[in-house]
Amino acid sequence: MTYIQRRHFLRAASLSALAGALPWASKAAPRRNNVNPEKDSERVYFINDGIFYKPVDYIEQLQLIQQQHAITRDFYGSDGTMKELLDKCCEITGKEAAIYMPSGTLANQLALQVLSGDHPKVIVQESSHVYRDEADAAQTIFNKRLIPLGKDKAAFTLEELKQAISWHKAEEAFEAPIGALSIETPVRRCSNSFFPLEDINTITAYCRELGIKTHLDGARLHISAAFTGTKVIDYTKTFDTKMPHLLKVHGGGIFTNWGNAAMALHHLQDIDKVLEESIRKSNALFKELNKIIGIKISPKERGTNIFDLYFDQQIDTIKTAKWLREEKGIIVGQPQSYGASRMTVNPTILRKDNAAITDAFSKALRSHS
């Protein structure tokens, strides 16, 4: 039914593969036009990578899961439903073992620490989560020096990597070796643009020659695989991280976490099929929406599930978005600095047929132009 939001996720080997779901809280709102604004399952969100469950819907989904397949308690990340989840993650990634991490930041930081060992330098994407969104954890906790490549881009090239390695070796008075390299795909800060798989394979092969260990931040990896026609295992086969008891040292050992494990396992069962259906449906939908006067939807360079939505200047975008939300249960993103709103494809697109979504946009634009 859904792709899973990135936080509360699994890490299979070095892979942060999937995320659990974080609930939203909001005041109850009256039903209008057969749309219940409080009922998440009746709305289409063009703003998320997956579903943000509201508490009532999260609880209801867990009850359905319990009826279909009994949820059993885990113990510090093992046994019960958690073991089923980890086994499933091993199957998807082709790894011999998996470990549950309570956050992506913890998973990234522990993996890089283990991989780099005593070597102080770690190469990262300048736009990556590791470099931009983890509160300088690598520097302040593990004393690592992050070397960013590919400023404001989702990817960097093998040539850029070689130049960086050569520069640091030649220009620094006291050479300190590079211990690890991290790659994130798709990159959230670059509108989920993907890092080409062929470049990943070339870069990781070169790193192996030099003895540099590699880490894959794959919090949205299923998105990258689905939108590029590849498989998760195509990415994970060149990465591998063994995790010692460092997880416990940093407070990542959770006594029992069957709720998130059950939800993640449930959605893992058919995630590839659901994403394929979402892509096919969005392709057809955007083709129809682009026939409507007043809007244009365009793909992004190396894009995955995020598209640009442009409104004509005469359209009152605030009133249009408000009407779509309140009258039809369709949520679109706020305008970005470059003038477009974001249309993010996720499994909530399967909740309404394309004709209903197209009709809603048509009415909204006629009413607010």
Residue 11 has pLDDT above 90, yes or no: no
171 and 130 in a common domain: yes
81 or 9, greater pLDDT? 81
- What are the structure tokens assigned to 30, written together? 């009256």
- Model confidence at 113: pLDDT above 80: yes
* Domain carrying residue 110: 103-252
Q: Does 112 share its domain with 236?
A: yes
Q: What pLDDT, on the 0 to 100 scale, is given for residue 23?
A: 33
Which tens digit of pLDDT belongs to each residue from 172-184?
Answer: 998 899 999 999 9
Which is more confident, 300 or 5? 300
**Selected residue with higher pLDDT from 367 and 181:** 181
Task: Name which of 160, 167, 116 is nearest 138 in CA terms.
Answer: 116
Identify whether residues 305 and 242 lie together within a single domain: no
Assess whether 234 and 295 both reside in one domain: no
pLDDT score at 240 = 78
Q: Confidence class of residue 136 from pLDDT cuts 50, 70 and 90?
A: very high
pLDDT value for 175: 85
Residues 300 and 237 in one domain: no
Confidence of residue 49 (pLDDT cuts 50, 70, 90): very high
Residue 193, C-beta contacts closer than 8 angstroms, at least 6 positions apart: 154, 155, 186, 187, 300, 301, 302, 303, 304
pLDDT-derived band at 34 (thresholds 50, 70, 90) equals low
Q: Which residue has the higher pLDDT, 19 or 63?
A: 63
Strand order in the sheet with 9-12: 15-19, 9-12, 99-100
Beta bridge partners of 122: 146, 180
Which pLDDT band holds residue 7 (cuts at 50, 70, 90)? very low
| Total tally of structural domains belonging to the chain | 2
Q: Taking Cα atoms as reference points, which of 143, 156, 213 lies closest to residue 184?
A: 156
Q: What does pLDDT average to over the chain?
A: 89
Return the bridge partners of 222, or none.
Answer: none
**Model confidence band, residue 1 (pLDDT cutoffs 50, 70, 90):** very low
Is 41's pLDDT higher than 90?
Answer: no
pLDDT at site 158: 98
pLDDT score at 38? 58
232 shares a domain with 277: no
- How far is Cα 143 from Cα 250, in angstroms, rounded to an integer? 15
207 plus 318 within the same structural domain: no
Is there a single domain that holds both residue 231 and residue 332?
no
- Average pLDDT of the residues in 188-211: 97
Same domain (yes/no): 135, 229: yes
Q: How confident is the model at residue 207 (pLDDT cuts 50, 70, 90)?
A: very high
Whether residues 215 and 291 share a domain: the answer is no
Q: What's the rounded mean pLDDT across residues 85-102?
A: 95
Task: Report the CATH number at residue 302.
Answer: 3.90.1150.10
Query: Would you say residue 239 has pLDDT above 80?
Result: yes
Which is it for the CA torsion 222, 226, 232, 236, positive or negative?
negative
Mean pLDDT confidence for 199-206: 98
Lowest mean pLDDT among 5-9, 67-71, 197-201, 242-246: 5-9
Torsion angles phi and psi, residue 344, rounded to 5: -100, 125
CA atoms of 62 and 57, how far apart (whole Å)? 9
> Is there a domain that residue 93 lies in?
no
Judge if 229 and 139 occupy the same domain: yes
High-pLDDT (> 90) share of the chain, %:
80
**Per-residue pLDDT at 37:** 52
317 pLDDT more than 60: yes
CATH code at position 183: 3.40.640.10
pLDDT exceeds cutoff 50 at 157? yes
Give the residue with greater pLDDT, 30 vs 193: 193
Q: In the predicted model, is pLDDT for residue 30 greater than 90?
A: no
Q: What's the rounded mean pLDDT across residues 116-128?
A: 97
